[in-house]
Structure formats: C-alpha cells, structure tokens
Amino acid sequence: MSKLQLAQYAGVSVKTLMSWCEPYKDELATMGMKPNNKVLPPHIVKFIIAKFDIDIE
C-alpha cells in the first residue's frame, strides 16, 4: 500500500501521517521502512494501522 493510500484511509495528508509515525521512526526503520519509500510493505502497514487505529475496510 502506498503512503498516500494509507493517509487517505486515515483522513490526513501524507505529511501528517509521517509526523504521527515520527515517535516510532527507529522501530519502523528496524522493520525496513525508509523515509523516501512511497510503497509500504504489508507488515509496516499493519503496524501503522494498529498504532493509529486506522480502518481500511
């Protein structure tokens, strides 16, 4: 899923979504997320959805 798609599900901009993720940047980096990635792997999407209670259905 792209950052844009995930941000749209959350009802925010990509910039806001990434600012929400800032406190978790080390953990996300360990999981393989890079700041310039436009597409997020499924395990990172699941992590972000769980942290911020985003409904993607």
Residue 57 C-beta-side C-alpha neighbours within 13 Å? 1
* Domain around 19: 3-52
57 in any annotated domain: no
For the chain, how many structural domains are there in total? 1
pLDDT in tens, 1-57: 999 999 999 999 999 999 999 999 999 999 999 888 899 999 999 999 999 999 998
**What is the structure's pLDDT at 17?**
96
31 in any annotated domain: yes
